[in-house]
């Protein structure tokens, strides 16, 4: 993801522009694809940076870097993967290597479902290196003769991401593809785990004492304090935060696992089911029992390929077609405003 949201703050947009301009000034191309976090309905942020000459949005038409042909496919939602059609332009004669970049969770990583093997078979030529994003840890494997790798995220996005941050340096000068992991210097993270029991008379003081044992590591660090064990005592998380910050922590986070453990021990008859967002939306829509016309409106509103500026006209056209289909031909094409549409949905 170039950004972590569809509408990043202006300061982030300008700062990214400044960074990419430095690369452009040194004739270093910046190549990218659209990730799931930044994906918009119409034009993408990469399009903006490409138009001002500081980035290149990859596609199924190869971008050439010397004798390397590089392809890119933007993030595809899980429900749309089967509908993906590939109109691939083959590399020119003399191309030594072909690289493919995608932003998907592959089946060989946790919670991944994307079939890399099937995708590689869709290509009419061999892919030498398959570069993937979306998974935050480094992984590398092979599918046939193709190297498949995630470089991992450049920043930690969760307190459970303990691994060091890295990026991949790819070298083809020796007649082969060599991948080297380069470590990214980040703020130091300190993880402190404390287990409380019935014999501890003053849990708060016990926690402070345990923190003091690691005092030399805390200054200038991000401190993640996890509490487990006896749930009878009540602790002030704000006081623990203040104590950690007073000892030099730049950021502190208190994870009191006792609350979750107590909750999980209760007799719960309901089953928790985690769904893909698109699947969850579809299940909700099924319960609404929308008419054929309503289903068409829903499709238009949520179709990323239809620009927002054209939604009103598209809905009006489909409603007119639906009325004509059921034998109620309107005297003129109906107009549906965005305000009316929003209230309807």
Q: Which residues are catalytic?
A: 37
Reported as type and span, the H/E element at residue 147 is strand 146-150
Between CA 128 and CA 90 the distance in angstroms is 14
Could you tell me the end-to-end alpha-carbon distance of the chain, in angstroms, rounded to an integer? 30
- Closest among 92, 100, 95, 93 to 120, alpha carbons compared: 100
What residues contact 86, with CB distance under 8 A and at least 6 apart? 60, 122, 123
Angle made by CA atoms 127, 130, 131, in degrees to the nearest 5: 150
Cα distances (Å, whole numbers) of residue 276 to 89, 115, 161, 203, 236: 32, 16, 22, 41, 36
- Count the Cβ atoms, other than its own, within 10 Å of residue 148: 21
- Count the Cβ atoms, other than its own, within 10 Å of residue 268: 9
Burial bucket for residue 164 (CB in 10 Å: 0-12, 13-18, 19+): middle
CA atoms within 13 A on the CB side of 200: 19
In sign, the C-alpha dihedral spanning 160, 164, 165, 166 is: negative
Rg of the chain over CA atoms, in angstroms?
Answer: 26
What is the pairing mode between strands 139-143 and 97-103? unpaired
What residues contact 289, with CB distance under 8 A and at least 6 apart? none
């Amino acid at each position: 993801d170039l950004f972590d949201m569809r509408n990043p703050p202006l300061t982030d947009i300008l700062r990214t522009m400044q960074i990419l301009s430095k690369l452009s000034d040194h004739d270093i191309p910046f190549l990218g694809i659209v990730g799931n976090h930044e994906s918009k309905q119409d034009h993408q942020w990469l399009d903006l940076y490409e138009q001002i000459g500081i980035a290149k949005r990859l596609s199924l038409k190869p971008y050439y870097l010397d004798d390397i042909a590089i392809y890119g496919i933007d993030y595809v939602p899980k429900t749309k993967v089967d509908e993906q059609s590939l109109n691939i332009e083959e590399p020119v004669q003399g191309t030594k290597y072909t690289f493919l970049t995608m932003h998907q969770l592959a089946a060989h990583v946790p919670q991944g479902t994307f079939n890399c093997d099937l995708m590689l078979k869709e290509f009419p030529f061999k892919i030498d290196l398959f570069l993937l994003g979306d998974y935050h840890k480094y992984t590398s494997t092979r599918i046939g003769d193709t190297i498949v790798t995630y470089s991992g995220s450049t920043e930690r996005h969760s307190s459970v991401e303990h691994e060091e941050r890295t990026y991949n340096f790819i070298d083809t000068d020796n007649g082969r593809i060599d991948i080297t992991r380069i470590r990214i210097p980040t703020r130091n993270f300190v993880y402190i785990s404390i287990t409380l029991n019935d014999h501890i008379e003053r849990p708060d003081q016990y926690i402070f004492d345990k923190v003091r044992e690691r005092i030399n590591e805390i200054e200038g660090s991000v401190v993640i304090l996890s509490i487990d064990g006896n749930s009878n005592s009540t602790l002030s998380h704000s006081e623990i935060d203040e104590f950690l910050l007073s000892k030099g922590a730049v950021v502190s986070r208190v994870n009191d696992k006792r609350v979750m453990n107590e909750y999980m021990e209760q007799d719960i008859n309901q089953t928790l089911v985690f769904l893909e967002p698109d699947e969850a939306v579809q299940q909700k829509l099924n319960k609404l029992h929308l008419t054929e016309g309503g289903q068409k409106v829903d499709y238009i509103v949520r179709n990323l390929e239809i620009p927002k500026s054209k939604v009103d006209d598209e809905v009006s056209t489909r409603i007119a077609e639906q009325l004509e289909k059921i034998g109620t031909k309107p005297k003129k094409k109906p107009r549906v405003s965005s305000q009316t549409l929003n209230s309807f949905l």
